[in-house]
Amino acid sequence: MIQKFEFHETEIAGLIEVTPFNADDIRGCFTKDYSKEVFEANGIHHDLAEVFYTTSHKGVIRALHFQRVKQQPKLVRCIWGHVWDVVVDLRKDSPTFQKWLAFDLIGDKHNEILVPAGCAHGYLVLEDSIVSYKCGEKFYGEYDDGILWNDPDIGVAWPLEQVGGPEKVILADKDQNLQTFAQFMDSYGGF
Ligand SMILES: Cc1cn([C@H]2C[C@H](O)[C@@H](COP(=O)(O)OP(=O)(O)O[C@H]3O[C@@H](C)C(=O)[C@@H](O)[C@H]3O)O2)c(=O)[nH]c1=O
């Protein structure tokens, strides 16, 4: 079976759900998850500056991350496993400022999202997973930043019951010490 690229806009401007090209046969499957030409034919300009992968255990939360300046648009796909992926709009002039949207990114479905610059991004790992990122801007460690995953003013409804409850969550020290949304607003007032 052949599945062609499909692009679906979401309520957050510039946040696009993408179904990649995929061809299944008796050997397995062939997946093409980025094509400059096909993206541009669909009105989506996404350059590639860096590509990286993370491997995570069930229960890991990596969130809610952004670069303070030189923000990175990123095409995010769970290439193996299943993550519950979240995007928060931090663009102060956006009609969906402060809104979050979540997506089940599933290896077997090959689906992905294009996260625009000016949004925070993160995810909860529902099954051991590998996540790929195709970034339109390079990583700057000095601008690396984020907002606490459980910030009450953003209020992401993390499905923690799917990993066995809050006590099963695995967080890096740096993600336990991120700023609140209120602190972000005091410092930056949005992007
Ligand atoms: C993201 C990144 C990290 N690093 C380094 C910094 C650190 O020593 C090590 C691990 O980085 P982190 O702990 O920040 O990795 P992680 O917490 O997985 O960060 C990622 O989270 C998800 C949700 C995103 O959206 C990504 O853009 C990125 O922020 O790798 C790079 O050299 N280049 C990079 O592009």
Atom of ligand 1 nearest to the CA of 64: 23
* pLDDT one-digit tens code per residue, 30-46: 999 999 999 999 999 99
Q: Point out the residues that are catalytic.
A: 65, 133
Cis peptide preceding 64, ω within 30 of 0: yes
Q: Residue 164, by phi and psi: left (phi above 0), alpha (psi -120 to 50) or beta?
A: left
Residue pLDDT tens, the chain, 191 long: 899 999 999 999 999 999 999 999 999 999 999 999 999 999 999 999 999 999 999 999 999 999 999 999 999 999 999 999 999 999 999 999 999 999 999 999 999 999 999 999 999 999 999 999 999 999 999 999 999 999 999 999 999 999 999 999 999 999 999 999 999 999 999 99
139: Cβ below 6 Å to ligand 1?
A: yes
List domains and CATH numbers for the chain.
2-188 (2.60.120.10)
Ligand 1 probe mutation, 144, 149, 176, most atoms within 8 A of CB: 144
Nearest residue (by CA) to ligand 1, atom 7, is: 141
Return the exposure string of 173-188: e unless at least 16 CB atoms fall within 10 Å of the residue's CB, then b. Answer: eebeebbebeebbeee
ipTM: 0.98
| Ligand 1 contacts CB of residue 140 (under 6 A) | no
Determine the Cα angle at 102 with ends 99 and 108, to 5°: 160
Q: Hey, whose CA ends up nearest to atom 10 of ligand 1?
A: 54
Ligand 1 within 6 A of CB of 122: yes
- Where do the DSSP E strands lie in 10-149? 16-19, 21-25, 28-32, 50-56, 61-67, 74-89, 100-106, 112-115, 119-135, 144-146
The predicted pLDDT at position 113 comes to 98
**CA geometry: angle 71, 74, 78, nearest 5 deg:** 145
